[in-house]
Amino acid sequence: MELNYSDKNVIISNKNSIFLAGPTPRDEDTISWRIEAIKYLRKRKFDGIVYIPEDELIRKNDYIDQAE
């Protein structure tokens, strides 16, 4: 499984993939639900790309730049 966070700006085609759409935390106190989703996919041996619409290391207050 390969994790592809939004700050990578890379689209990988011709491979199984899933996009983890849904609410994105906007503060450092809220833990992203995507962490559990990734654990779930690993446990089930998902072999593909997981697109995560969050930066890998930095929590933002908004994602306007990403939407643009």
Report residue 66's pLDDT band, with 50, 70 and 90 as the boundaries: low
Better pLDDT: 37 or 24: 37
Q: Which two tokens stand for residue 62?
A: 């908004």
Give the C-alpha separation, 53 to 17, whole Å: 13
pLDDT at 53 > cutoff 70: yes
Give the C-alpha separation, 41 to 33, whole Å: 13
pLDDT at 11: 78
Better pLDDT: 13 or 30: 30
Instruction: Provide the terminal-to-terminal Cα distance of the chain, rounded to the nearest Å.
Output: 28
pTM: 0.76
pLDDT at 63 > cutoff 80: no
Please answer whether residues 43 and 36 qualify as being in contact, where contact means their C-beta atoms are separated by less than 8 angstroms: no
| 28 contacts: CB under 8 Å, gap ≥ 6 | 59
Domain boundaries, given as residue ranges, for the chain: 2-67
Q: What is the mean pLDDT of residues 53-64?
A: 68
